[in-house]
Amino acid sequence: MTAIPARPVTLIPPLVVATPEPDHIQVPFEGDRLNRKAVADRLTGYLERLKVGAVIALDAPWGEGKTWFGRHWTASLRDQGYATGWINAFEQDYVEDAFLPLAAAVLELCQRDQPGSEKVKAGASAVMRALLPVGTKALINLAGRAVGVAGLADEFGEAVKEATAEAAKDGAASVGDAAAAWVERRLEGWGQERATVSHFRQTLAEFAAKQYEASGKPVVIVVDELDRCRPEFAVRLVERIKHFFDVPHLVFVLLMNRDQLEKAIRGVYGSETDAATYLGKFLHLSLKLPKDRTRDPKANPLRAFITRRLQEHGAVDETFVRGFAACAAVFDLSPRDIERGCSLFLLSGSNEAALLKAYLIALKLREPGIYRALGDVAGQEAAHKECCERLGIEVREVKSIGAGLSPGFLPFPGNYFNELVRIHDELGGARRFDESWWNKGGSMLPEILENLRPDTAIKYVMGTLDLDVG
């Protein structure tokens, strides 16, 4: 076969795990490579026209950058004069009742207005007294301090003591008796309880209205990681927002994986529950976080995203970036997948066979079963056929656009995927590898395989990506 000049091999510096972003963001959307700021601006415009309270859901699968987007949008809203709160629901799902972190977030926003703060705290404490079962196992005091409002937790703790003491006065000899006494008191005080909830909502509405009068903007509280919580806690949190916090000028934004939250609803209320309809009762607006998966290499926003991730480690390789951006679009990789892919490239140690490495990394992340089968003699043939089918769809799509072009002259990434199909065909037994392919005009095989035979190249690259392979 005709050799091509070898690409200079560059050793990649050791991988350094980036420090997590601080909660305080100085420049909102700095480093935005997926054009998420445009989405935030549209949502902010919606908030500006909103004259009532609302619950807005932003839906995206795990790993699509919901938290990054939520933090930066929250910082942007603060810079524009919005009163904003942030709740990481997953960090607080050990709390017995989801009302506590919600009330704590509102109370934190009230701290500058001491009279208003005391009114909201008193109202929240009264509601918690009504909600609290005598036999609760929650560590209320610790929970309250964890969400940053110790005073609220203290009052909640006092409710536990008072309820227990009252049960003792009634002659309750056991937890069961205490619970029965508590139920009896709840029935007797039902009217007062409704008045308590009504008073809390009125106090909350006054706070939100005061904020709106001062700024012309609603209060916005963003709830993150809702889909990672205990199912019951996640469902209760959404319900608590509707029942206790649905007041004008107070907006909740829920960052969620809707499919997972609907599974949580079915887990709480039964598999036959119409979870989509039930969840819809609590949402005023549900939007999907958009993503751009264009195949056009010049317009593909993933190239900038991948480049930035590699720049953070001083190891940008344009050949890898070009191939991995194309594969990320085809395999529908999430931003989190892409970050892991960049880490795999960095851990591989060099930029050798970067185009093949980009493809195999994407395959490893999205189709780990097929990837493993490529290294297993017993499953190789079937795995190569599956890869041919997956990539063949992309090749046919590009061919339909460039009618009349031979496969060797398809534009990138069509020619790239076409050559990968050839490699899988040969290794899957569909055709015999022909060394004349190397010399055909427009062939990318030499660049993809770097003068190695297909089986040798794949084995070599997989060896750099799997630490358990010698």
State the DSSP string of 136-187: ----HHHHHHHTT-HHHHHHHHHHHHHHHHHHHHTT--SHHHHHHHHHHHHH
Q: Name the residue with higher pLDDT: 450 or 161.
A: 450
Q: How confident is the model at residue 24 (pLDDT cuts 50, 70, 90)?
A: confident
From 379, 375, 413, select the one nearest 393 (Cα to Cα): 413
Helix (H, G, I), strand (E, B) or coil at 350: strand
- Burial zone of 450 (CB within 10 Å; 0-12 exposed, 13-18 middle, 19+ buried): buried
Query: Quick check: 119 pLDDT over 60?
Result: yes
CA 203 to CA 209: how far, in whole Å?
Answer: 10
Q: What does the pLDDT average to over 239-248?
A: 92
Residues 6+ apart with CB under 8 A from 12: 313, 315, 345, 346, 348, 349, 350, 351
Cα separation, 417 vs 325, in Å, equals 13
Residue 59's beta-bridge partner residues?
256, 288
pLDDT at 262: 94
Structure tokens at 398: 């590009």
Would you call 11 helix, strand, or coil by DSSP? strand
Q: Which residues contact 11 (CB under 8 A, 6 or more apart)?
A: 349, 350
Q: Convert the pLDDT of each residue in 287-331 to its tens digit.
A: 988 876 666 666 678 888 899 889 888 888 999 999 999 999 889
For 30, list phi and psi in degrees, rounded to 5.
-65, 130
Q: Quick one: pLDDT at residue 20?
A: 34
Report CA 209 to chain centroid distance, whole Å. 32
In this prediction the pTM is: 0.68
- In 3-state terms, what secondary structure has residue 166? helix
pLDDT at 168 over 60: no
Environment class of residue 187 by beta-carbon count within 10 Å: exposed (0-12), middle (13-18) or buried (19+)? exposed
Cα(first)–Cα(last) distance of the chain, in Å? 28
**Side chain identity at 126, as an amino acid letter?**
A
Whether 282 and 239 have beta carbons less than 8 Å apart is answered as: yes
Do residues 382 and 388 touch, judged by C-beta distance below 8 A?
no
| Cis-peptide, bond into residue 115, ω within 30° of zero | no
- Residue extents of the structural domains in the chain: 22-288, 301-466
HEC per residue, 44-81:
HHHHHHCCCCEEEEEECCCCCCHHHHHHHHHHHHHHCC
Predicted confidence band at 185 (pLDDT cuts at 50, 70, 90)?
A: low
What span, in angstroms and rounded, lies between the C-alpha atoms of 265 and 341?
33
Q: Is 198 helix (H, G, I), strand (E, B) or coil?
A: helix
Residue 221's φ and ψ, nearest 5 degrees, are -120, 120
Mean pLDDT to the nearest integer, 390-403: 69
Contacts of 441 (CB under 8 A, 6+ apart): 408, 409
pLDDT at 84 over 60: yes
Q: Report yes or no: 276 and 262 within 8 Å, Cβ to Cβ.
A: yes
Number of H helices, E strands in the chain: 20, 5
Q: What is the DSSP pairing of strand 219-224 with strand 84-88?
A: parallel
List, for residues 42-83, the tens digit of each pLDDT value: 999 999 888 789 999 999 988 888 999 999 999 999 999 999
pLDDT of residue 312: 83
pLDDT digits (tens, 9 = 90+) for 411-468: 788 888 888 998 998 888 656 655 655 555 557 888 898 888 888 999 999 998 876 4
- Cα atoms in the 13 Å half-sphere on the side-chain side of 363: 28
> Which amino acid does the sequence have at 82?
Y
Average pLDDT over residues 127-155: 48
- The answer to whether 379 and 368 are in contact (CB under 8 A) is no
